[in-house]
Amino acid sequence: MSEQADRVSTDSPSTLILGLGNVLLTDEALGAAVLEALAPLAAADPDIALMDGGTLSFTLAGPIGEAARLVVVDAARMGQAPGTVRVLEGEAMDAQLSKHANNVHEVSLADLFDIARLTDSLPAQRALVGVEPAQVDWGSELSPAVAAAVPRAVAEIDALLTRWRADG
């Protein structure tokens, strides 16, 4: 391997934080809002890459497969009170994605994970940070309950990354 290729591979972020959602649909904009709140943390940590995945596409298969660690942030209907933050890791995340889809992202994200499995590149350390939406309708602002959950989602992601690094 050339010196430049080696430098690129070792300097590349190994943690991908993927925000999902549609910024035109109130609480569906959660992913983008959390990424914005995480920007200072990511700027201080070269191991973290933030990516706005929007409403998903198969072009995300590459970045997902290249990541050693993956955190997906999305509004997710989980039958909880609006603004509830849940962290589902590994197989618990996979089980959530395999259930009957409650939003368009879960099906597409499951498809992306299947691609990663076929290429043996699914990140071993992966988690979904889901926030129960209050409303999904046309609008450019998060509902009060979901907006109040953004700092908690950021804290959960920070704690998750700290634990993952300690575990090796």
What are the extents of the domains in the chain? Answer: 3-167
Are 32 and 75 spatial neighbours (Cβ–Cβ below 8 Å)? no
Q: Which of 38, 18, 17, 20 shows the shortest CA–CA distance to 28?
A: 20
Residue 75 has pLDDT above 90, yes or no: yes
What CATH number matches the domain at 3-167, 3.40.50.1100, 3.40.120.10, 3.40.50.1450, 1.10.760.10? 3.40.50.1450
CA distance 166 to 107: 32
Buried residues in 100-138 as b, exposed as e (16+ CB within 10 A): eeebebbebbeebbebbeeeeebbebbbbbbbbbbebee
β-partners of residue 87 are 129
Burial class (CB in 10 A: 0-12, 13-18, 19+), 152: middle
Range of 3-7, 9-13, 37-41 with top mean pLDDT: 37-41
Q: Which of 76, 92, 88 shows the shortest CA–CA distance to 132?
A: 76
Residue 95 has pLDDT above 90, yes or no: no
CA distance 33 to 57: 20
pTM beyond 0.75: yes
Over residues 6-32, the pLDDT tens digits come to 323 345 789 999 999 999 999 999 999
Residue reference for tokens 């953004």? 150
55 pLDDT tier (thresholds 50, 70, 90) = confident
Q: Which of 108, 112, 105 shows the shortest CA–CA distance to 30?
A: 105
Are 23 and 136 spatial neighbours (Cβ–Cβ below 8 Å)? no
